[in-house]
Structure 1
Amino acid sequence: MAHFSPDRSWRTFKRSLLNHYVLNGLEVALGLFLVTTLVHLVWGVQHAAAASVGVIVTIVVDMPAPKRGKFWRMLPAPLLGAPLFWLVQLLHQHPLLLGFLAVFSTFFGFLWMAWGKRGGPVAIAVVLAMVLAMSITPQPGHVLEVATQSTLFFVIGAAVYLVYAVAANAILNLRYRVQFIADTVLSLAALMLEQARMVLPDAARHVGLDDETVDGEAYGDNLADRNFGSFSRQSPQAAHMGNLLARHAAFADQLQAARDIVLESPRTPRRQRLAGMLMQMLDIRDHLLACELDLEHLRKVPEQAPMLLAQQAMLRALALELVHLADSLLWARKPQPMVNLNTLLRPMKAACTPRQRLEEALPDQYDPAALPPQALSQELSERIVRIHGEVNRLIQLGRDEAEPDLAVVRASWQMFVSPTAWSWSPFKGLMSWDAPPLRHAIRAALAIALGYVVVQLLPWKAHAYWVLLTIVVVLRGSLAQTLERRTIRVLGTLLGCVAALAILSAHLPPLALILCLTLAQGISHGFALRRYLFTAMGATVLGLVQAHMLNAEGSTSFHMFERVVDTIIGTGIAWAFAYVLPSWERSQVPALVQRVLKAQAAHVRTSLSVEQLQAVDNVPELAWRLARREAYDSLSALVQAVDRSLKEPRAVQPPLQALEQLQAHCYQLLGQMTSVKIMLMMRRGQTPSSFAVQQMQETVADVDAHLLAPLAAQSSADAALPKPPAPEPVPDPEDRDLLPWLMRRLAASRILARQLQADAAQIHQALARQEPEVPVAEAAQAR
């Protein structure tokens, strides 16, 4: 059997070069070069430098995006940046007024963070326009005339690049779709490999998966490598569980980014196949989640070790097939057919025999824990066989040998993509003093105020805007992100200074400097979300070369010294102000937990809906898919918040152990519902017996009662962990093939709902007492 390549660096490098981040970086670099060169050839190098500032400000918001709404998504950055650029130049000779403008524009700009991932780049662009305007040395002549002329070329550069960016995004749309699908496939392969690690007991993990990884996902790789908080301080099993949660969060995060691109107008056959691949990966993810069920029971049975080993080998082989598929998509090659895995499939197919003996042995009173290990292992084998079939179909879709489910694709087109229009709704959330975007805007404005005062005291005021620029790019919304950028920014600046010194010492002609500026911008933009060290290096070269073009006088080496000192000062200020008016993650936890519980209850309700079995349209299926997306997305948001809280002072950390228990129980409940959903959809067109329907309705009512209850009204006694329910009396049912498994899943779901209620109550009590950690009792297992 083929093995994963041990050379992680080479694998990562190859995939990084073919990633949509790099393609987007090349696209923006080409745009900067074309616009700046055009202005340089027509109006000269000085005006080209001003035009390049307009381009750079617009580039900040130029990310791969759906064609629909691309123009309006980018427009706010140059529209807000141009008047600010003009005002800064008017006030060059009035330091006090310029300082007030810098503080106000920073506060106003960072309020755009309220719009989330769309608003963040706009906030950076607005402040960047202000900071870069300070870099332009005042020219002789009337101040108003000079400022207006410089702003005119800023607008020309921004306008021409805006048209170019919209056109380039449309041209590269199909390639972006393929790259996003490839990234999602890699994230799914990493999730599958982590699930393979979970199959065997701790003592048997020496068989070979610890050193195998799937590189390619930016967030998932970093998060899982940190071993997910305090899970790493517990048993190896708990550490693997932490990594599994991180991989699920990474896949959910990657999935939404892919949805926005891939599900837009899937009208052509090629687009439909790519959208079909995306929907196929959702089904694979669901089967993987269900594979976690009952594993803890099976690991304790020595007789099941050979079958578990075979199941792990199959998951590992399928992960490798996904990696090959992703690499083929990135290299624009037709994927190879799936490798024949019959040798690995044979023992699992042999285990998937009819369950007649189990069904005939159904007792008068059903105990959810009474199913024998052989039956549980059989069900796990069936799931893995289904995953094999789903992966095979995914590869066939990639090879254009299978047709996508167009009904699902069309139903998902507009329902699962992020909104593209700007609205005032997020602005209403800024009315609260506790709103994180408002506190971050105040924090950033105060940091800029202090930075500006420090700038006035420095002996080199001509390039002191670098202090403010460093504050803007280092100071993030959370302490974890600020600390992550702090050290990398200084190191990247030092390396960038060396590169810029080599470039400027060569005394290159203006067109060559424009080319260097272009490459630096492409690297800085392309690696902003992947490798910030490269971004810091590119930004340093960009700033130094642009400063040289705007003001060629002065010592190059002294500029290097200024750059390093200013970066250290700006980083220190950003670091210090990360603790001013902090928005600790614990303040967001109650809302995130409530969102998770509501999403879990809605997912249970739609998964157990009997109407879906007799529906003649896709309305119930669409409702379930929407509920499933919210369940995963809410969990992903909670996982990321917990990860960020690990960098915060221990005294203000949320109750990590309770949060991790809650997340683990949520994924277990999702797995239980996924298993039930699969069982029910296999019987679509048939109505279960009245007893089964009653049990499903009672489970929905029980789950709602526990997950939707107000946490503040619960006492510590209410939060006690539940005991398994008593055996249910079973009438003579019509569907004896469904009932044993359905009852087991429903019973486990009720236990998990009570455990989630207990976890949420402990989190609420810990936060109410302002304690950093609340011990969590040993949870009862309900898998």
Structure 2
Amino acid sequence: MILPAARGTRVAIQQHAKAALRGLLNYYMTNGYAVALGYLLISAGVGLVLGTSAGAAAALGAVVTIPPDLAGPRRGKFRQMIPAPIIGVPLFFAVQMLHSSPLELGILIVVSTFVVFLAMAWGKRGAPIAIALMFAMIFSLAVPPHEEVKRLTAALQMTGIFALGAFLYVLYSCVVHRWLNPRYRVQFIADTLLSLADLMRLQARQFGADTAETRSEASGGLISRLLARQAALADQIQSTRDVVFESPDTPPRQRLAAMLLHVLDMRDHMIACALDLDTLKQHAGHHTVLGQMHDMLILLANETDQLADFMLFARRPPRPMDYRARLENLRWAVDDDAMDSDPNRIITSRNPSPDALVHSLADRIANLNDEVLRLYALARGEAQPNLAAVRASWHLFVSPVSWSLKPFYSLWNWGAPALRHAVRAALAIATAYLISLLLPWGTHEYWIFLTIVVVLRGSLAQTLERRNLRVGGTLLGCVLALSILSLHPGYLALILCLTVAQSVAHGLALRKYLYTAVAATVLGLIQAHMISASSSTVFALFERTVDTLLGAGIAWLFSYVLPSWERSQIPGLVRRVVKSQIDHVRTALDLAQLDAVDNAPELNWRLARKDAYDSLTALVLAAERSLKEPRAVRPPLQPLELLQAHAYQMLAQLTAVKSLLLLRRGSLPGERLELPLRRASERMINLLSGKEVIIETVDADEPAQPVREPTLAPGPEQVPQAWDADLMPWLERRLEQAILLAAQVRKDADQLLGK
């Protein structure tokens, strides 16, 4: 007999093992494996042909070129990779020539740091290149100084081998990245499905038992977590779009692109599935049905997880469970006696019956069930993708790959975060350089610089997180490196250790930075050991630890110099949120989609919806970062949280309206919908624009009108075609609630903007 505690432990171990296996099979680790293989081939190949010293120098060239090598679309890969060696090689050579001239070397390092960090203005594309260029200078310092009479010859020789390794890696990266592209597409979809399932489980907590814990969560904690998870998912979806929507010109690619479109619809359904939940909780007899809805969301999340696992293992998934029958029966889970005696049971067009609310919630969960079925059908090859939607998404929903000068022109404003960060980084590096000259050792001063580069981020929150993880990872990495070097391994064994360390350091850099810090420490110590043939491994470890603490401390202190507090960015983000909400209202309530012969109006709505999600994501992330800043400079958090919540709720209401319109497209009489949709659109746009501030009150004496949600469709492919006369009260309810939320969004925005 297995005790419950033992069973729970076994389940926990299985879950951790499954999570670890998913991580090992995901796209970021696949990218790490590819990076490590390239590093191994270049360092070992050059070392066997030209000698171990040349192999170590070529390995440096590869390491410098690696940061921009991330899993992504095929197009633009060469343009993303080539700036690092083209600019990095001259920097490497300049440091070699000035190695024995402290003043000139310091000026070069500080000025170059400022210029290199300006690349942060290009965001996610520019940051890896900036890191790579800093690595070129820093790792050049790791090369022992050359004799004065042979300086030019030795510098040219070392730089030539460094350039050989760098350019060989660029060629390798472009070829391997193209070869791995089909696998990356599958892995990006699987990773997004796993995140979607986690969000579904978090969403299910809103349907849980009414306990003190859930009431506390509902008061703010759970909503904040949901908003943060939604923001992370939106950012992840954009990365997946860039890969999956690229050139969907074969059936497998088209199926994956169609799956991503269904994922987007699932996200909308999840946001909308909690609509009316608070209203239902005001009535008696709802606990049983909400518990069943909670269980249903968990089951759907498990089905989504299972699909992702089968995709990661490159296996054909089994047929999923269809829970529509159980969802149909949820209406009978209501405690009728309790609801009949409920004092809050006042039924009007704006206050539907509890039965109708239950049916409405079940219908939205049924939409999630249908999307899961469609995902499985596509993954099993049993359904054909919507090629028109896929081809449209190919061009309109992916990030540009060409380099633009617009970020460069926007730099020259003293308030520009990228400019202030560049100045901050240059001052930190200058301070570190002066300290390194005063240290009693100074043989590995570049370790201080390396720590500053990887710890100092654009915001205080990111810097603090990196500081702690870097210090802890360095201490663990020193112990591991000492254990390896104490065995006196040969050249090939060291190369193998470096390969594994490079794989972990690169693959987990954006996911588990602690592991990256451990692996990077092992990588740096062994690399330095191979280049300088240091005889004192223990002292090198001590020096590495002290230099890391110094670098982390300097980065932390200079994060307060010329800070770009999130409070200064909030007004622009708030205005962007309001503008994107206006655009979304205009397209979501456009009747043109009902009569259109193509998908152009729907495509416009999807673009507006994407912009609305992106703007909210930027605001949520900024709010999260502000929590780590000094209390005196934080933005007003309460209106910020209210704005985020109200904007997401308005998106949910409009998504519910749009879903009803699209579901009944072709069968709805436009003349009945035109007036309420037009009036609601104008009202919401006026409210969001600040042209209207008065909210009409609802007449409490309005006669009650029975309301029910349109009935559940019998299956995902059987959409009801007849006009349901009772649709209008629900549509009016959604529009009225969306109008109220638009007023709240404007009020929250005005409070944040100081109006």
Taking structure 2 as the reference length, the TM-score comes to 0.91
Query: Displacement, 1:351?
Result: 9.3
Residues 272-351 of structure 1 correspond to what in structure 2 (within 5 A)? 272-341=254-323, 344-348=326-330
Once the two structures are superposed, residues 525-560 of structure 1 have per-residue CA deviations (whole angstroms, 9 ceiling, x without a partner) of: 111011111111111111111111111143111111
Name the counterpart of 1:49. 56
SS of aligned partner of 2:321: coil
Equivalent in 746, 758, 761 of residue 747 of structure 2: 758
Query: Displacement, 1:370?
Result: 3.1
2:184 aligned with 1:176: yes
SS of aligned partner of 1:462: coil
Query: Displacement, 1:6?
Result: 3.4
Is the CA contact (8 Å cut-off) linking 1:198 and 1:241 kept in structure 2? Answer: no
Name the counterpart of 1:421. 402
Name the counterpart of 2:123. 116
Residues 285, 126 of structure 1: alpha-carbon distance in 2 compared, 3 angstrom cutoff: same
Query: Displacement, 1:666?
Result: 0.7
2:513 aligned with 1:537: no
Query: Displacement, 1:349?
Result: 7.5
Query: Displacement, 1:327?
Result: 1.2
Once the two structures are superposed, residues 27-80 of structure 1 have per-residue CA deviations (whole angstroms, 9 ceiling, x without a partner) of: 101000100111111111111111111100110110001111111111111111
Structure 2 counterpart of 1:704, one-letter code:
I
Residues 167, 123 of structure 1: alpha-carbon distance in 2 compared, 3 angstrom cutoff: same
Residues 441-520 of structure 1 correspond to what in structure 2 (within 5 A)? 441-520=422-501
Is the CA contact (8 Å cut-off) linking 2:331 and 2:359 kept in structure 1? Answer: no
2:41 aligned with 1:34: yes
Equivalent in 154, 157, 161 of residue 149 of structure 1: 157
SS of aligned partner of 2:568: helix
SS of aligned partner of 2:737: helix
Residues 255, 526 of structure 1: alpha-carbon distance in 2 compared, 3 angstrom cutoff: same
Query: Displacement, 1:408?
Result: 0.9
Is the CA contact (8 Å cut-off) linking 2:38 and 2:169 kept in structure 1? Answer: yes
Query: Displacement, 1:612?
Result: 0.9
Once the two structures are superposed, residues 494-545 of structure 1 have per-residue CA deviations (whole angstroms, 9 ceiling, x without a partner) of: 1111111122222222122122121111111111011111111111111111
Name the counterpart of 1:260. 242
Taking structure 1 as the reference length, the TM-score comes to 0.88
Once the two structures are superposed, residues 436-459 of structure 1 have per-residue CA deviations (whole angstroms, 9 ceiling, x without a partner) of: 111100000000000000000012
Is the CA contact (8 Å cut-off) linking 1:348 and 1:382 kept in structure 2? Answer: no
Name the counterpart of 1:439. 420
Is the CA contact (8 Å cut-off) linking 2:311 and 2:317 kept in structure 1? Answer: yes
Equivalent in 198, 210, 219 of residue 202 of structure 1: 210
Query: Displacement, 1:10?
Result: 2.4
Query: Displacement, 1:735?
Result: 7.0
Equivalent in 6, 28, 31 of residue 24 of structure 1: 31
Is the CA contact (8 Å cut-off) linking 1:351 and 1:378 kept in structure 2? Answer: no
Is the CA contact (8 Å cut-off) linking 1:99 and 1:449 kept in structure 2? Answer: yes
Name the counterpart of 2:196. 188
CA distance in 1, matches of 2:697, 2:203: 27
2:119 aligned with 1:137: no
Name the counterpart of 1:694. 675
Query: Displacement, 1:572?
Result: 0.5
Name the counterpart of 1:11. 18
Is the CA contact (8 Å cut-off) linking 2:594 and 2:670 kept in structure 1? Answer: no
Residues 631, 172 of structure 1: alpha-carbon distance in 2 compared, 3 angstrom cutoff: same
Once the two structures are superposed, residues 728-750 of structure 1 have per-residue CA deviations (whole angstroms, 9 ceiling, x without a partner) of: 999xxx97333101111111111
SS of aligned partner of 1:332: coil
2:55 aligned with 1:74: no
Is the CA contact (8 Å cut-off) linking 2:42 and 2:59 kept in structure 1? Answer: yes
Equivalent in 148, 166, 173 of residue 165 of structure 1: 173
Comparing 695-704 with 469-478, which one deviates more in the overlay?
Answer: 695-704
SS of aligned partner of 2:410: helix
CA distance in 1, matches of 2:355, 2:738: 22
CA distance in 1, matches of 2:392, 2:11: 39
SS of aligned partner of 2:395: coil
SS of aligned partner of 1:92: coil
Q: RMSD value over aligned CA atoms?
A: 2.3
SS of aligned partner of 1:313: helix
Equivalent in 703, 719, 742 of residue 684 of structure 2: 703
CA distance in 1, matches of 2:50, 2:544: 29
Is the CA contact (8 Å cut-off) linking 1:110 and 1:123 kept in structure 2? Answer: yes
Query: Displacement, 1:235?
Result: 4.9
Name the counterpart of 2:384. 403
CA distance in 1, matches of 2:414, 2:32: 38
Structure 2: stretches of 5+ with no match in the other structure: 1-6, 335-346, 705-722
Name the counterpart of 1:527. 508
Structure 1 counterpart of 2:591, one-letter code:
V
Once the two structures are superposed, residues 181-220 of structure 1 have per-residue CA deviations (whole angstroms, 9 ceiling, x without a partner) of: 11100111111111211124533978xxxxxxxxxxxxxx
Equivalent in 605, 612, 618 of residue 593 of structure 2: 612
SS of aligned partner of 1:571: helix
Once the two structures are superposed, residues 118-172 of structure 1 have per-residue CA deviations (whole angstroms, 9 ceiling, x without a partner) of: 1110111111111111110023352122111111111110111101001111111
Is the CA contact (8 Å cut-off) linking 2:348 and 2:703 kept in structure 1? Answer: no
Residues 374, 512 of structure 1: alpha-carbon distance in 2 compared, 3 angstrom cutoff: same
The count of residues paired between Structure 1 and Structure 2 equals: 716
Is the CA contact (8 Å cut-off) linking 2:327 and 2:362 kept in structure 1? Answer: no
Structure 1: stretches of 5+ with no match in the other structure: 207-231, 353-365, 769-783
Once the two structures are superposed, residues 613-658 of structure 1 have per-residue CA deviations (whole angstroms, 9 ceiling, x without a partner) of: 1111111111011011111111111111111111100111111111
Query: Displacement, 1:114?
Result: 0.5
SS of aligned partner of 1:202: coil
Equivalent in 540, 544, 553 of residue 559 of structure 1: 540
Is the CA contact (8 Å cut-off) linking 2:186 and 2:311 kept in structure 1? Answer: yes
2:95 aligned with 1:93: no
Once the two structures are superposed, residues 329-374 of structure 1 have per-residue CA deviations (whole angstroms, 9 ceiling, x without a partner) of: 112221121135466334147799xxxxxxxxxxxxx965232222
CA distance in 1, matches of 2:440, 2:566: 40
Residues 679, 64 of structure 1: alpha-carbon distance in 2 compared, 3 angstrom cutoff: same
Name the counterpart of 1:635. 616
